[in-house]
Amino acid sequence: MNHMISPARPRYSHTAIRLAGTLLLVSFISLTSPLIAAAGELRAGAAKVDISNRNVPVNDPLFAKALVITDGAQTGVIVTVDAVAIGEIGSITNEYLGNVRSQIETDLKIPPKNIMINASHCHGSVCNDVEQRTIQAIKAAAKKLVPVNVGVGTGHEDRVMENRRLFLKNGKEADVRHAYALPPDEEVAGIGPIDPEIGILKLEKKNGETLAIVYNFAVHPIQGVPSKGSTADMSGFASQVIEDNLSDGTIALFVQGCGGDINPAQYKDVDNPRDAETLGNLLGLSTLKAIKKIKCTDAGDLKVMNETLAVPRSNNETRIESLKKEQENLVNSLQGTSLNLKTFLPLIVKYKLYDKHPSYYSHRYLLEQKLSRDGLEKLDAENRANMERYINNVYKMEQMTRNKANLRLLTKHQTRNQAAGKTLDVEVFGIKVGDFRMITFPAELTVNIGLNIKKKSPFENTFVAGYTNGYNYYAPTADQLKNVGGAQEDSDCMLAPEWQAIFETKAQEMIQALK
Ligand SMILES: [Zn+2]
C-alpha cells in the first residue's frame, strides 16, 4: 500500500491544490466574464434570433446567428444575417456594424475588429430593430460558451447555381437579371465559372454533440418562393436542413462566399414558380454529407486578423459618355415598320407555322400561279420585311433597356466617387479556427476572386467571403471591368480594376499570417 501512496501523495496533493486553485479561479472568472477560459482551450457558444419583418407576409423566417469562439486569450465572433447587405442597400443602416460592435465591446469586452458580420444577400424583409436583435444573438451565444472540438472539411454542390455572366460573340459580356431581357441566344458564346466547393467548419461539444456549423458557399440567394413572401431563400432553407438533421440546438451559419456573379439555377424560368426551397434542400443535404465525414479534434487554435485596405475608386466618365452615344445610335438605328404589337403577333405565328402559304389556303396560291399573278407572294414578302424590322427593333429596345439600367448604376457611382476622392477604405477580416481559414471583403466579390485566392493559398481549407463587415457594391475582376456598362457587376461598382491585385495580394499576406 505504502509503496503506492507515499511517492504519489506529494505530487497528487500539489496537483489537487493547483487544480482546485485553477477551478476556483476559473469559476471566479467565469462569474465575472464568461469569455475568459483556461488558456489554449477552445470554447464556443452559438445562438440565433429571428429578424423577420412581421409587417409583411413571411414565407420563412430570417435570422441573425452568432458564433462566439474564444481560446481564453482572444475571442472571435462570426455573425451571419439573412439580409441583403451590411449597410448601403436594404434596411440595415450604415451605422449598424459600428453600433453592434461598440455595444458588444461595452458589454462583453470583445474588440470591435474581432467581430465579423456577413450578409447572406437574400432579399427577405428584415425587422426595424435588427441591430438590437443581432446584439441579443451575440450575447446569447457568449452566455453559452462550452469547451469544443473543431474540424474542417469541404462539400460539393453544382446543381443549384449558374454563373450569370454570358460571354457574347462580339467580345462583350452580358448578365442574367430580371431587370432586363437577355441578349438573343445566337449572340451567346459561353458562360463564366461556378465554385461548387462548400467550405465547412464544424464545432462539437466534448460529448460529441454538434454545437454549430459554419459553411461558406458562393451563390446569390435570390430565387424567391412561390408564395412571394419574405424568405431567407436558398441559404435559409439549407441552414434549416442542416439544423434539423444534427444535434438539437445546432446552429448553422451560412457565410456568403464570392456569389457576385452566381445566380440560382434557372433564375429566369417563366414556366414554373421559382422555388428556393428545392435548391436550398440540395445545398443543405450536400453540406450534411460533407459534415458527416469531418472529424473534430481538440487541437484547434484561434486567430483573428483585421486590416484596412485602400482600394482605388473608378472613374468611368469616358465610358459613360460612350454608353450615352451608344444609346443615341440605337435610337437612330430603329427602322420604320407598318406593324405594331397587335398586328405583329398573329402574323409571326402564321408565318412561323405555315412557311409556304401563310396568308391563305394553298389553293389560292396555286390559282395565282396558274394565272401568272404574284399578289400573295408580294404581300408575304412585304409582311416578312416588316416583321424582320419589328423584331430588330425589339432587340434594339432590349439592348437599350440593358444599357439604360447599367448607365444609371454607372452614373450613380461616378457621382459618388467624384465627390469622395481617389481611394476607398475597406475592411479585410481573417479568421483561423483549427485548419479552417477564411478571408472576407465588404463587397459582392465575383466567383473568380474566390477561386484565385483559394488556388494560391498554401493551405487546403482556405475560404473567401464577400458581403462582410460593410457593403461596397460589386467587386468584379479586372477582366470583368473591361466590360464596364455591359453587365450589373461591372456597372454597379465603385472600384477601379487595380483593386483586384491589391486585395488578392493582401489576402495571401493575411492567409500566410494565419498559419
Ligand atoms: Zn447582388
Which of 503, 87, 85, 474 lies closest to 312, judged by CA?
503
pLDDT value at residue 181: 96
- Which helix (DSSP H) or strand (DSSP E) does residue 408 occupy? helix 375-420
Q: Are 38 and 26 in contact (CB under 8 A)?
A: yes
Please check the confidence at residue 13 and state whether its pLDDT lies above 70: no
Q: Are 442 and 427 in contact (CB under 8 A)?
A: yes
Residue scoring higher pLDDT (433 or 2) = 433
For residue 378, the CA-to-ligand 1 centroid distance in Å is: 51
Interatomic CA distance for residues 221 and 214, integer angstroms: 17
**DSSP assignment string, 445-490:** E-HHHHHHHHHH-SSSSEEEE-SBSS--BEE--TTGGGGTTSSHHH
pLDDT digits (tens, 9 = 90+) for 115-154: 999 999 999 999 999 999 999 999 999 999 999 999 999 9
Whole-model pTM? Answer: 0.90
Cell triple for 251: 446552429
pLDDT value at residue 204: 98
For residue 220, the CA-to-ligand 1 centroid distance in Å is: 6
Q: Are 77 and 67 in contact (CB under 8 A)?
A: yes
**DSSP assignment string, 111-130:** -GGGEEEEE----PPBPTTH
For residue 290, the CA-to-ligand 1 centroid distance in Å is: 27
For residue 179, the CA-to-ligand 1 centroid distance in Å is: 12
pLDDT digits (tens, 9 = 90+) for 152-188: 999 999 999 999 999 999 999 999 999 999 999 999 9
For residue 110, the CA-to-ligand 1 centroid distance in Å is: 31
Share of the chain above pLDDT 90, in %: 91
Interatomic CA distance for residues 410 and 486, integer angstroms: 10
For residue 325, the CA-to-ligand 1 centroid distance in Å is: 28
Angstrom distances, CA of residue 439 to CA of 116, 158, 454, 461: 10, 23, 10, 11
For residue 485, the CA-to-ligand 1 centroid distance in Å is: 16
Residues 6+ apart with CB under 8 A from 482: 497
pLDDT value at residue 4: 38
Cell triple for 154: 469541404
For residue 508, the CA-to-ligand 1 centroid distance in Å is: 25
For residue 219, the CA-to-ligand 1 centroid distance in Å is: 9
Angstrom distances, CA of residue 163 to CA of 118, 190, 290, 478: 21, 10, 23, 17
For residue 181, the CA-to-ligand 1 centroid distance in Å is: 18
Please check the confidence at residue 1 and state whether its pLDDT lies above 50: no
pLDDT digits (tens, 9 = 90+) for 332-387: 999 999 999 999 999 999 999 999 999 999 999 999 999 999 999 999 999 999 99
Q: Are 277 and 237 in contact (CB under 8 A)?
A: yes
pLDDT value at residue 184: 95
pLDDT value at residue 39: 54
For residue 152, the CA-to-ligand 1 centroid distance in Å is: 28
Dihedral angle over CA of 38, 42, 48, 51, nearest 10:
90
Strand 251-256 relative to strand 210-217, pairing = parallel
For residue 350, the CA-to-ligand 1 centroid distance in Å is: 41
Rg (CA), the chain: 29
Q: Where are the beta strands (DSSP E) in 85-127?
A: 115-119
Please check the confidence at residue 429 and state whether its pLDDT lies above 50: yes
Q: Are 289 and 246 in contact (CB under 8 A)?
A: no
Map residue 83 onto helix, strand or coil: coil
Interatomic CA distance for residues 137 and 171, integer angstroms: 48
User: Across all residues in the chain, what is the average pLDDT?
Assistant: 93
For residue 252, the CA-to-ligand 1 centroid distance in Å is: 22
Which of 151, 133, 119, 147 lies closest to 34, judged by CA?
147
Residue at 64: amino acid letter: A
Angstrom distances, CA of residue 482 to CA of 163, 172, 476: 18, 9, 10
pLDDT value at residue 2: 38
Band of residue 48 on the pLDDT scale cut at 50, 70, 90: very high
Band of residue 327 on the pLDDT scale cut at 50, 70, 90: very high
For residue 30, the CA-to-ligand 1 centroid distance in Å is: 42
Which of 305, 361, 333 lies closest to 114, judged by CA?
305
Distance of CA 41 to the CA centre of its chain: 33
For residue 258, the CA-to-ligand 1 centroid distance in Å is: 10
Q: Are 133 and 57 in contact (CB under 8 A)?
A: no
For residue 121, the CA-to-ligand 1 centroid distance in Å is: 7
Band of residue 299 on the pLDDT scale cut at 50, 70, 90: confident
For residue 393, the CA-to-ligand 1 centroid distance in Å is: 30
- Which helix (DSSP H) or strand (DSSP E) does residue 77 occupy? strand 75-81
For residue 446, the CA-to-ligand 1 centroid distance in Å is: 10
For residue 237, the CA-to-ligand 1 centroid distance in Å is: 19
Q: Where are the domains of the chain?
A: 43-313+425-513, 317-420
β-bridge mates for residue 162, sequence order: 263
Q: Are 338 and 449 in contact (CB under 8 A)?
A: no
For residue 8, the CA-to-ligand 1 centroid distance in Å is: 66
Residue at 451: amino acid letter: L
Cell triple for 503: 486585395
pLDDT value at residue 21: 46
Cell triple for 314: 473608378
pLDDT digits (tens, 9 = 90+) for 224-245: 999 999 999 999 999 999 999 9
